[in-house]
Amino acid sequence: MVQITAMTMVGKQTRANRIVAGTSVPHPCGDPSAPPDADRALRKEIVRTALEVLQTDVEQPTVFTPKITFTAK
């Protein structure tokens, strides 16, 4: 299982095994305020990371950060 969340600290505390850092609480998988192309690239990278992480063995709750840049809200 993999959890995509903007609140990785809560993910760790609830002991999710694989946690992927999302963009924000209301939009974990993208940024609707970004231009459509940038939003699409962002979504793709987050989901790609999640699929990759699904195939990764972990020993304890582990946070994975997609290779993305975005402005924090």
Partner 1 sequence: MKLELITYPVKNVEFGRLTSYKNGILKVDKEELKKLVLEDERIVSVDLDVAFPGEQTRIVNVRDMVEPRVKVSGPGGVFPGIIAPVQTVGEGRTHRLSGVTVTASAKMTPTIMSGTAAQDTAILDMWGPGAQLAPLSSLINIVLVLRLADTVSELDTHAAIITAECKVAKRLAETTVEIPPQNMEVFELHEVSPSLPRVVYIVGFMTNWHAPHSAVAYYGLPVRESLPTFVHPNEFLDGALTADARKGISSYARTWQWMNNPVVFKLLREHGKRLNFLGVIVQRTRFEAEHGKLVSAAAASQMARLLGADGAFITRTTASGANFVDVMLTVQACEQKGIKTVLLGPEWGGKDGSELPLVFYVPEATAMVSTGSTDRETKMPAPSKVIGMAEDKLVQLVLGNAPFSPWSEITLDDYSIAGASDWWGENYFTRKAY
- The residue to which tokens 């192309």 are assigned: 37
Of the listed pieces 23-31, 40-48, 51-59, which binds partner 1 according to CB under 8 A? 23-31
Spatial separation of the C-alpha atoms in residues 18 and 3, rounded to whole Å: 6
Contact 12, 26 (CB under 8 A): no
What is the size of the binding site for partner 1 (CB under 8 A)?
A: 13
Comparing CB distances to partner 1, the nearer of 14 and 56 is: 14
The 26-45 contact track toward partner 1, x by CB under 8 A, reads: x-------------------
Neighbouring-strand partners of residue 62: 18
Structure tokens, 3: 């959890």
72 binds partner 1 (CB under 8 A): yes
